[in-house]
Structure 1
């Protein structure tokens, strides 16, 4: 049995007309000899009546700090509505479709409501349905604890559901359908000549996703990578081939470069603040631990970390500024806060041990008089903190400098 998992995002199931396009994709997969498993997100985006953000707003209208468990109960509803409607669409076309919740599909999680981790995936029920010639339509974003509690997997959770099922079922392919034709070298709203990538490695797309690209969730890629299940990101609205995500080399991309390109794409994150913590009069290692432990205990995630004698620099989401400042000052630290920052990153598996990559990165920004507030790099990425007002110019200049439009 050749199994394919087809995940359709919110815009792909938002209307009867679009659901007909989904039906066409499912029927074509069957015609090609596949047994498809369909995974769906909630219908539409924020403002749509059954979108997840809309449901969250309804719950929080009663109490802004509603408990995470109760919030999961209403967030669970968006995918259930979508899956029922999609199953009905397939049934109307003569396909035997069966709607399954995440729990029905065998996805077992911990009890970390709103951001549950998957403990195991038992595909027995799905396999049984496939052997009967039926099409399982699975609610993405969902799981269930061993105690029978509904849980959700966090933002991008439907991508994670698709990858988990693909791995559990030893699927031949996982297709991630969205409203774009594939993964692009940069945000086309900023860079006019951004292009679709034909192929990208797991490592590269994880970096792009972690650095701000929103086409696919990095958690989904990491799961698929564990069993080497190919992913394809493509559009519901066209027949474009999309972007294949797989192992380009037998070894990890950071250890073996088999492509000529140094850079794969440019991405960005906004709404950041830079915090500098002065460590004067303290033992540096002890102070560093206390700073990051204070933030971790406050559920504040940090990025772009630089530790120097006498000073620590890092970035956080701007929404956590007041909380972070308060907690650090309570510990007796002197801090400086720089608001309105953004991170721009160049990602590429071909960067390893290539001379001049950092020089080109700095030159591209300097030639456009873009202030560099902080940098960090790895074997597959270089990132810089810049003023948020300059993020568009920074992305354009880096895209041009690294020849990504060619």
Structure 2
């Protein structure tokens, strides 16, 4: 059986007109010979009556202490509504359909309510419906513990549901439908000349998601990569072929022949709201190690880490600055904070070992009088910390310097 998993986001199922477009995508897959599994998000966005954030607001505003187990049960309702409404529309269009909750679809998770991880999927709860020729519509973003308590998977959970189901069902591919034509070389609201990326490998899109691009949740990418399932990012409202995310191996042969393997640079992202932290070292080095442990215990994530003999430099998200300062004051260390920064990152799986990449970055930014406050790199990224007021100019400058518009 050739299976395809199609995931439709909240905007795709929000109105009758949009749902008709969804049915057209399902119809195309059925006519191509696929057995179709559909994963749906809750309808609309915050403010819409059945959106996840709207449901969450019903209790969050009035409850000083949240019971996450109770909250997950409430938040799962939005996807249930979407699944039943879409199933009804499909049957009216002549396609037999069955809506299933995550629990009914055999998705078992751990008991970390509000941010659960999928442990297993019993595909025998799904396959009989596909064998009967039905479109199986599964609620995204949710599962259940072994004891049957409903859980949710956290932000991006419907993407995670889709790729996990794709791997479990050995699907030919997973299609993530949204309201854009695909993944772009940069945020088009920042870079007007940004273009759609036809192909990209798992590592690159994972880095994009981690570095601030709102494309697909990193957990979903990781699951797809581990299962070697191609993922396509497509637009519900257009016929654009979208962006294909798949495996690209530079050495030892390619599992998929992909143009992405030939490109030096794939995309540029930026993340605002970053604070640079400088901690001045003392002779008592044990205090420094205890300090880092205290930051970890407070769930303060540090990034762009540079440690020197006389100081430690790293970055945090601005939302964690108050908690950080409280800890630093408790330890009595000398420190300084530089707020209103942005992390600009170039991403490309081939940049490692290629001479001149960093020089191009430095020279391009210097020509525009953009000061690099700090830098870091990995096998597929180079990140530069700049003032937030320079971020958009920096992204555009690097997009031009590496000719990503071509």
Bin the TM-score by the shorter chain: over 0.9
Aligned residue number for residue 23 of structure 2: 23
| Kept after mapping to 1: 8 A contact 2:377/2:383 | yes
TM-score (ref. length: structure 1): 0.95
User: Which secondary structure does the structure 2 equivalent of 1:62 belong to?
Assistant: coil
For residues 289 and 251 of structure 2, what CA distance do their matches in structure 1 show? Answer: 35
> What per-residue deviation string (whole Å, max 9, x for no partner) do you get for residues 220-257 of structure 1?
11101112110100100101000111112375999x99
1:154 aligns with 2:154: yes
Q: What are the residue-to-residue correspondences of 1:3-402 with 2, within 5 Å?
A: 3-249=3-249, 251=251, 259-283=261-285, 286-402=286-402
SS in 1 for 2:262: coil
Q: Which runs of 4+ in 1 moved over 6 A?
A: none
Q: What is the CA deviation profile of residues 259-303 of structure 1, one whole-angstrom value per residue up to 9, with x for unaligned ones?
A: 3321100011111212222222222xx455423321221122222
Residues of 1 paired with 2:146 and 2:252: CA distance? 35
Greater shift in the superposed pair: 49-58 or 391-400: 49-58
Name the stretch that deviates more: 376-385 or 292-301. Answer: 292-301
Q: Secondary structure at the match of 1:10?
A: coil
With 196-205 and 329-338 compared, the bigger mean Cα shift is at: 329-338
Change (3 A) 1:277 1:257: farther
Q: Deviations over 1:62-98 (max 9, x none)?
A: 1254232232222111211111111111121121111
Gaps of 5+ in 1: none
From the superposition, tell whether residues 252 and 201 of structure 1 become closer, same or farther in structure 2 (CA, over 3 Å): farther
SS of residue in 2 equivalent to 1:259? helix
**1:190-214, CA deviations, whole angstroms, 9 ceiling, x for partnerless residues?**
1111000110111111111111111
- Secondary structure at the aligned position of 2:11 is classed as helix
Q: Is the alpha carbon distance of 1:214 and 1:258 closer, same or farther for their aligned partners in structure 2, counting shifts above 3 Å?
A: closer
Separation in structure 1 between the aligned mates of residue 259 and residue 20 of structure 2, nearest angstrom? 42
Q: What is the CA-CA distance between 1:172 and the residue it aligns to? A: 0.3
> Aligned equivalents of 2:9 and 2:307: distance in 1?
40
Counterpart CA distance in 2 for 1:250 and 1:222 is 19
On the 8 A contact 1:253/1:349 being kept in 2, the answer is: no
Quickly say closer, same or farther: Cα 1:85–1:367, change in 2 above 3 A: same
The 1:67–1:140 alpha-carbon spacing in structure 2 relative to 1, beyond 3 Å, is: same
Moved more, 15-24 or 124-133: 124-133
Moved more, 288-297 or 42-51: 288-297
For residues 166 and 270 of structure 1, do their structure 2 counterparts lie closer, same or farther at Cα, with a shift above 3 Å needed?
same
Of stretches 160-169 and 146-155 in structure 1, the one that deviates more from structure 2 is 146-155
1:308-339 Cα distance to aligned partner (Å, 9 max, x none): 22322222221111111112322333221211
* Partner SS for 2:104: coil
Contact map agreement 1:232 1:245 (CA 8 A) in 2: yes
Quick one: distance in 2 between partners of 1:326 and 1:212? 27
The count of residues paired between Structure 1 and Structure 2 equals 403
Segments of structure 2 that go 5 or more residues without pairing to the other structure are none
Write the deviation string for residues 321-365 of structure 1: whole angstroms up to 9, x where unpaired: 111111232233322121111111000011021001011111222
RMSD: 1.9
**Residue range with higher mean Cα deviation, 188-197 or 119-128:** 119-128
